[in-house]
Amino acid sequence: MATTKTPSTREEHVYMAKLAEQAERYDEMVEFMEKVSACAENEELSVEERNLLSVAYKNVIGARRASWRIISSIEQKEESRGNEEYVAKIRDYRAKIESELSSISDGILKLLDKRLIPAASAAESKVFYLKMKGDYHRYLAEFKAGAERKEASERHCHRRVAANSPDPTRTGTQFFCFLLRDSILPIVLATSPNRHLMKQ
């Protein structure tokens, strides 16, 4: 009689992350992938696992970034109409979204710095994670103002320098994604709805 292999806890978390993705429950997908990372300890994530992690965080942060853009646009319209009472309420609501954006970004950046990047032995994995790190610093720079915005931008640039070290993957797709994102950042910051908020 054939025996059925019992999936490991790590495999179960991967399966549940896939299930959450299909159900479009991305906050839970993030939770499952964080558990996968914890199970891996000092081991490198597989290509599938790191892609699932990226998809989970991308969707969680993407929804908040879209919300922030919409609210910022409404805020500008209400300001132009002189509706100060509404503007105050909108700013409070925007601050709540910004808090969520900061929390999500801080979570993945901490995971990258403390676990994923140190455990990455393959050059391609390091490039993948450095790209992610740069992306989340860029997301922070989109809505931060003043010194915090400058710090997020500088960290993005620091990641760029690290990624440009001699590396066999530089001719691959990942490196070209790096270059594309680096060229996009100044444009994103220049056209961000947050420009008018920097004076506040």
Q: What is the DSSP string of 103-135?
A: HHHHHHHHHIIIIIHHH--SHHHHHHHHHHHHH
Model confidence pLDDT, tens digit, residues 154-183: 554 455 545 545 454 454 555 555 555 554
Tokens of 174: 């990942």
Residue at token pair 């001699």: 166
Q: How many CB atoms lie within 10 A of CB 141?
A: 23
Q: Which of 83, 137, 88, 82 is nearest to 112 (CA)?
A: 137
Judged by phi (left if over 0) then psi (alpha if -120 to 50, else beta), residue 41 lies in left
**Euclidean distance between CA atoms 153 and 144, whole angstroms:** 10
pLDDT > 90 in the chain, percent: 62
**Euclidean distance between CA atoms 177 and 170, whole angstroms:** 10
Q: How far is CA 71 from CA 35, 53, 97, in A?
A: 33, 28, 9
94 burial via Cβ count (<10 Å: 0-12, 13-18, 19+) = buried
In degrees, rounded to 5, the angle at the alpha carbon of residue 14 between the alpha carbons of residues 9 and 20 is 125
pLDDT mean over 92-117: 96
Model confidence band, residue 144 (pLDDT cutoffs 50, 70, 90): confident
| Structural domains of the chain sorted by starting position, each given as residue range(s) with its CATH number in brackets | 10-193 (1.20.190.20)
- Greatest mean pLDDT range, 14-18, 146-150, 158-162: 14-18
pLDDT of residue 41: 80
pLDDT of residue 199: 39
